[in-house]
Structure formats: C-alpha cells, structure tokens
A and B are shown apart, each in its own frame.
Chain A
Amino acid sequence: AQKVTQAQTEISVVEKEDVTLDCVYETRDTTYYLFWYKQPPSGELVFLIRRNSFDEQNEISGRYSWNFQKSTSSFNFTITASQVVDSAVYFCALSEAIVNDYKLSFGAGTTVTVRA
C-alpha cells in the first residue's frame, strides 16, 4: 500500500498564481517525520523542509509555506506568487521506523509547471 499519496499528478499555473500541492500519508507510528523535496528539470533532488509528527505548527519560508494537519494525515505545500523557476517535480516523503531501522517513502510526485 502506498504510504504517501500525492493525488495531483500535474499542476499548471500562470506566473504569480498560488499553487497548493496535496500530500496525504499513512503510518501507524506516533513518531515520524515528513519531508518535501524539489526536483527541478536539472534532475537533482533538493531538500525543502522537514517536520516531525509532534509539531503541527505551520511553517513559512519566503514564498513557500507548509500546512501539517495530523487529524487528516496531510502535509500540504503552498507556493505563493509562483515563478517560472518553481517549475519542478515536488515530492512528499514519510520517514518512519521499519523493524530495526528507518525508511524514507516517497509519494509519486507532483509536476508543477509555471508559465510566464
């Protein structure tokens, strides 16, 4: 079963529009971490944010903001006033314990295209 679901496969917006990427996760653990990564056209994955399961405070970093809601198992990501450079594939990921170790499970990614 998919641990992390990103229901939106592709989103296309015009520059300066806001865009929200949905992420829903599934885990039985009480302690876990959630991440967002960005994969621009150049291909390399870039870490954006980490959030632990006990911290439901929303976070804002420049034009990026994240909304973590444990009640709905969601960790959504909003880009405000999008720019062409925001065009990328965005991945949500869940880090949880497995047997004697930890594992990062990625969602399928959402491709964001920002048109000038």
Chain B
Amino acid sequence: DTAVSQTPKYLVTQMGNDKSIKCEQNLGHDTMYWYKQDSKKFLKIMFSYNNKELIINETVPNRFSPKSPDKAHLNLHINSLELGDSAVYFCASSPGKGLADEQYFGPGTRLTVT
C-alpha cells in the first residue's frame, strides 16, 4: 500500500495554463505539506496543513493555492503557470505538527512548463 501518493507523476503544460496536483495519505496523519524541489535539488517548504487548517504559508506567489478537503488529502492548484514553476513538487505527511515528527514523502510530481 502506498503511504503518500501523488497524481500525476509527470505534468507537462504551457505557460499561462492552470493545473492541479493531488495528494493523498493513508497513514492517518494529521499534518500534510507541499515542498518544491528545484533543478539544483534544493527543497523548500511551501505550505503545511494540520487537520485541514493552514499552519505554514511560506513566501509563495498567490498563484499557488492549496486545498485540504479532509486531513487525508492536500491538493495544490497553480494558476497562470510560469517557466519558473518548473520543478518537482513533493507532498509529505507527519503524525502531528510537532518538532520531532518525521515526514513521509510522496513520489513527487515533476512539473515542466514550456
């Protein structure tokens, strides 16, 4: 059973389009995250949700909007895609939002904007 799953795995689209990435976890965790990994492999947190509530919102353009319909799902919608949005986006989850919680990552979604 896949613990944290993301769809799609690959996404190729043109500038200006709107796209969504879906994430689901079956671990019963309370907290979910979105990370962006750039071409140099640098990982940066974008958002985190705890029990459907937004708790971390890093400096991310307003074009990115997360939505958590329930605590097992966290989707990421991106409007007006730009070339700089090309990256691998990782979803993750953790049992709580505590200092010690290890995070479980999904397989990533490679977004390519042309």
Contacts and interface: CB of A to CB of B under 8 A. Distances in A.
Interface of A: 31-33, 35, 37, 39, 42-47, 50, 52, 89, 91, 95-98, 101-106, 108-109, 111
A45 B43 CA distance: 11
Main secondary structure of the interface of B (DSSP, over half): loop
A43 B90 CA distance: 10
Contact of A43 (B100, B103, B104, B108): B108
B106 A44 contact: yes
Interface residues of B, number: 24
B27 interface: no
A101 B106 contact: no
A112 B43 CA distance: 17
Main secondary structure of the interface of A (DSSP, over half): strand
Interface in B1-52: 40-45, 48
B74 interface: no
Given A101-B55, A106-B43, A108-B42, A31 B99 contact: yes
A35 B45 contact: no
Given A95-B99, A97-B99, A44 B108 contact: yes
A45 B105 contact: yes
